[in-house]
């Protein structure tokens, strides 16, 4: 019993109640976000769309997601985290209900794009709110639990989606809308506004231009011109490209090896099961080490896992490789999120989050577009290219780590100096 209590304290102890309500809202949101998993099937089976047209509509959802990510970051810093989360969830619920009863493909395409906007808006606000309320020394635990909740919710969503899609597509969309409303209710009833709206720090503006008082007012452009932050975003983009291989290129490679779709499902399910079962043990494992070192090891493991597929011809090799790259993903999640939070000035947290989250829709486009060409022309050697990308990312984290740490220390010092002004 003492061992269990000690493990709980190391894993989730000391986190504020607001975090747990945010965590619950995220879990409900992800567990209920299953309708879009079957959007292409719905369009072709129930609405008579061609496969190419279905692809365009699903692409509209992705394009909306990119817009929603930036919009959510700006609004979360201007309106507040709570207001942005509520607006996004209520908007998504209304759009999903409308999508359930829409018949015209043009209307469905517009609604899909708008759903993409509202589905992506909460991400920067969720993370910014977590950073607002969780003390710095406990953020690694908080982000680890966030990643775990996200994957647990997606696993639940995948199971529920299959059952509901067989029963009724209308029910699929309506239950999704109801789950989104449930998440909104948790946020409305239990989550206070966490944005403190601190005064603009003169030191932040002068540190960029060297001319206090003449600096451009901070905004989204600040994140887009922050070289240290953008270098980290670029390395995260490489990690995202590696991760996207499992849902874009790996199914094609497995089919070329004569494996059935059920084999692909088993590989994906193994990764999800490992994350759900083992992610909560990660913070204690990585706590003694520098974040840049952990990220270098994690991306190195992903490089090794995907590089192993160059010799994969049967299911056991794919399963073994999946274990390796999933461990890499598990190790990367907490420090990746924490570095992202540490590099953001407090009054621009959500904007920085929105730029960071753009890496994922970008990777979801680049990975299949270039990966398909690579697989077609290089065959199994494609996985050597993927492995090299992982090694590049690992080396990049080792090289960039010291400068990132100095930047974070400078930001913390500036915040401490500004505290009397804010008070």
Residue ranges covered by each domain of the chain: 15-139+166-190, 226-422
Give 57 or 392, the one with higher predicted confidence. 392
**Burial of residue 242, with CB atoms counted within 10 A of its CB: 0-12 exposed, 13-18 middle, 19 or more buried:** buried
Is 297 a residue whose pLDDT tops 90?
A: yes
Q: How far is CA 74 from CA 65, 82, 90, 148, 203, in A?
A: 14, 13, 18, 26, 22
> Is the pLDDT assigned to residue 35 strictly greater than 80?
no
- Can you list the pairs that 311-314 forms with residues at least 24 positions away whose Cβ atoms lie under 8 Å? 311/380, 312/253, 312/257, 312/380, 312/383, 313/257, 314/257, 314/259
> Can you tell me the distance from the alpha carbon of 396 to that of 236, in angstroms, rounded to the nearest whole number?
10
Alpha carbon 131 to chain centroid, angstroms:
15
Is the per-residue pLDDT at 370 higher than 70? Answer: yes
CATH superfamily of the 15-139+166-190 domain: MFS general substrate transporter like domains (1.20.1250.20)
Q: Is 164 helix (H, G, I), strand (E, B) or coil?
A: helix
What size, in residues, is the chain?
423
pLDDT band of 47, cuts 50, 70, 90: confident
Could you tell me which residue, 32 or 105, shows the higher pLDDT?
105
Q: Around Cβ 410, how many Cβ atoms within 10 Å?
A: 12
Instruction: For residues 355-373, give the mean pLDDT.
Output: 81
Per the CB < 8 A criterion, the answer to whether 309 and 245 are in contact is no
Q: How confident is the model at residue 415 (pLDDT cuts 50, 70, 90)?
A: confident
Q: For 242-263, write each residue's pLDDT tens digit.
A: 988 887 788 778 888 888 777 8
Is the pLDDT assigned to residue 154 strictly greater than 80?
Answer: no
Whether residue 334 contacts residue 147, with contact meaning beta carbons closer than 8 Å, is answered with: yes
Give, in order, the Cα–Cα distances in Å from 299 to each of 295, 305, 324. Answer: 6, 10, 11
75-89, 151-165, 276-290, 365-379 — which is least confidently predicted?
151-165
State the pLDDT at residue 295.
95
Nearest C-alpha neighbor of 23 from the set 143, 202, 136? 143
At 205 the pLDDT is 43
* Per-residue pLDDT band at 391 (split at 50, 70, 90): very high
Which DSSP state fits 46? T
Task: Please check whether the two domains, 15-139+166-190 and 226-422, share a CATH topology.
Answer: yes
pLDDT band of residue 93 (cuts 50, 70, 90) is: very high
| pLDDT exceeds 60 at position 8 | no
Mean residue pLDDT across the chain: 83
The pLDDT confidence band at residue 418, using thresholds 50, 70 and 90, is low
Over residues 186-212, mean pLDDT: 62
| Region 226-422: CATH code | 1.20.1250.20
CA distance linking residue 372 with residue 245, whole number of Å: 10
Which pTM value belongs to this model? 0.77
- Residue written as token pair 């979360």: 76
Model confidence at 233: pLDDT above 60: yes
Could you read off the pLDDT of 264-289 as tens digits, one per residue?
A: 778 877 888 888 888 888 888 888 89
Cα–Cα distance measured from residue 384 to residue 282, given in angstroms and rounded to the nearest whole number: 28
Q: Is the pLDDT of residue 1 over 70?
A: no
DSSP state of 198: P
């Amino acid at each position: 019993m003492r061992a269990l209590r000690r493990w709980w304290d190391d894993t989730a102890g000391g986190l504020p109640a607001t975090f747990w309500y945010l965590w619950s809202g995220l879990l409900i949101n992800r567990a209920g976000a299953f309708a879009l998993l079957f959007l292409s099937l719905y369009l072709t089976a129930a609405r008579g769309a061609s496969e190419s047209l279905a692809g365009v509509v699903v692409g509209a959802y992705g394009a909306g997601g990119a817009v929603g990510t930036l919009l959510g970051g700006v609004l979360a810093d201007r309106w507040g985290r709570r207001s942005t989360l509520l607006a996004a969830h209520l908007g998504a619920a209304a759009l999903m209900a409308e999508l359930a009863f829409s018949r015209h493909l043009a209307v469905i395409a517009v609604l899909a794009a708008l759903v993409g906007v509202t589905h992506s808006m909460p991400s920067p606000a969720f993370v910014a709110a977590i950073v607002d309320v969780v003390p710095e020394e406990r953020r690694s635990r908080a982000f680890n639990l966030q990643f775990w909740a996200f994957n647990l919710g997606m696993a639940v969503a995948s199971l529920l989606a299959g059952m509901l899609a067989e029963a009724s597509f209308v029910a699929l969309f309506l239950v999704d809308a109801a789950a989104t409303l449930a998440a909104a209710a948790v946020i409305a009833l239990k989550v206070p506004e966490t944005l403190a709206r601190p005064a603009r720090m003169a030191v932040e503006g002068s540190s960029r231009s060297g001319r206090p008082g003449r600096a451009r007012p901070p905004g989204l452009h600040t994140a887009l011109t922050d070289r240290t932050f953008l270098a980290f975003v670029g390395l995260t983009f490489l990690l995202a490209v590696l991760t996207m291989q499992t849902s874009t290129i790996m199914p094609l490679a497995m089919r070329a090896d004569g494996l059935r779709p059920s084999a692909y499902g088993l590989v994906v399910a193994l990764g999800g099961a490992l994350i759900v079962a083992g992610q909560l043990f990660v913070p204690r494992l990585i706590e003694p080490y520098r974040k840049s070192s952990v990220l270098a090891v994690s991306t190195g493991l992903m490089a090794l896992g995907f590089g192993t597929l160059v010799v994969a011809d049967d299911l056991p090799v794919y399963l073994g490789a999946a274990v390796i790259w999933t461990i890499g993903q598990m190790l990367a999640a907490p420090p990746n999120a924490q570095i992202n939070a540490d590099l953001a000035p407090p009054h621009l947290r959500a904007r920085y989050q929105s730029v960071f989250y753009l890496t994922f829709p970008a990777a979801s486009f680049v990975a299949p577009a270039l990966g398909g060409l690579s697989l077609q022309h290089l065959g199994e050697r494609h996985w050597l290219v993927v492995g090299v990308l992982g090694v590049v990312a690992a080396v990049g984290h080792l090289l960039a780590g010291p400068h990132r740490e100095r930047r974070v220390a400078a930001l913390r010092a500036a915040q401490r100096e500004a505290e009397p002004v804010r008070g």
